[in-house]
Amino acid sequence: MTHFPHLTRLLSAGEPVRICLFGSSTTEGVGASTPEHGFAPVFERTFAPYAPGGLTVINRGIGGNGAREMHDRLRQVLDDKADLVIWQGGTNDAWQDVPVSYFIDTTRDDLGALRRNGSDLAMIGPQWCKMMEDCPAFPPFRDATPALAIEMGIPFFDRYRHMKSWCAEYSITREDLSPDDLHMQDFGYKLLGEAVARWIVDLTGAPGADIGG
């Protein structure tokens, strides 16, 4: 099965690729010490060697956005005409008293519109952090995100599970990854950006995908 048929074809042909990162504070890079230590630049640096024809990464992350605000910005993302859109969300809606049914329906519609527009799709789920664990409304959104990915056949990066795994691997706490109890810091963004880039590359099966882990 080819998870990203459009992106895979372009990478295999050595053609330029455009990837849009569409989300909230994680995508924007809130919590990084400098912009270049945020998720998007780390992702771009890690992915670039696998895109010999050239890589353009478009950062459409705005902190605090939930499904409603991302829907309002959808036209901009559609106009980007990216070969791959990596959607990130499922966190802020829990703070906004948004019904989980609204989150699911709106996100489903928006992802469908992006797919019809010709973009391959990937999804990144919510984070593991103290503020979200302490939020009673969070669990339904945490669980709805991978369920929607399964329903729509979209590859899903389980950030929640990966953050737990990184803490065990590096003998650190979740507060080390998110000192303000919500946003990731430089090391967290390094782990996330590199992991997501390599996950995308591995799923393309494009030439060079088995190089560098």
pLDDT digits (tens, 9 = 90+) for 195-206: 999 999 999 976
Measured CA to CA, the distance from residue 147 to residue 152 in angstroms comes to: 9
Please report whether residue 172 resides in a domain. Answer: yes
> Cβ atoms within 10 A of the Cβ of 207, count?
12
pLDDT digits (tens, 9 = 90+) for 137-179: 999 999 999 999 999 999 999 999 999 999 999 999 999 999 9
What CATH number does residue 92 fall under? 3.40.50.1110
Please report whether residue 169 resides in a domain. Answer: yes
Q: What are phi and psi of 17, to 5 degrees?
A: -130, 150
pLDDT greater than 60 at residue 88:
yes
* 3-state secondary structure (DSSP) of residue 56: strand
Question: If you average pLDDT over every residue of the chain, what do you get?
Answer: 94
**Domain boundaries, position 149:** 5-204
Q: Give the pLDDT of residue 205.
A: 78
pLDDT digits (tens, 9 = 90+) for 179-196: 999 999 999 999 999 999
Alpha carbon of residue 208 to chain centroid = 22
Q: Give the pLDDT of residue 36.
A: 96
Please report whether residue 212 resides in a domain. Answer: no
pLDDT greater than 80 at residue 209:
no
Tokens (6 digits) for 35? 């912009």
Name residue, tokens 């391959």: 120
Please give the helix or strand (H or E) that residue 187 lies within, else none.
helix 186-204
Measured CA to CA, the distance from residue 190 to residue 43 in angstroms comes to: 8
Farthest-apart Cα atoms in the chain, separation: 48
Please report whether residue 157 resides in a domain. Answer: yes
Q: Give the pLDDT of residue 1.
A: 59
Confidence band for 114, pLDDT divided at 50, 70 and 90: very high
* Domains in the chain, number: 1
Please tell me the pTM assigned to this model: 0.94
Please report whether residue 99 resides in a domain. Answer: yes
Tokens (6 digits) for 83? 């070969």
DSSP at 90: S
Helices 186-204 and 39-47: angle between axes, nearest 10 degrees = 40
pLDDT greater than 70 at residue 7:
yes
Tokens (6 digits) for 90? 């499922």
Please report whether residue 210 resides in a domain. Answer: no
Please report whether residue 132 resides in a domain. Answer: yes
> Cβ atoms within 10 A of the Cβ of 148, count?
21
Range with the lowest mean pLDDT among 41-45, 77-81, 116-120, 209-213? 209-213
Please report whether residue 213 resides in a domain. Answer: no
The dihedral formed by the CA atoms of 105, 108, 112 and 113, expressed in degrees to the nearest 10:
60
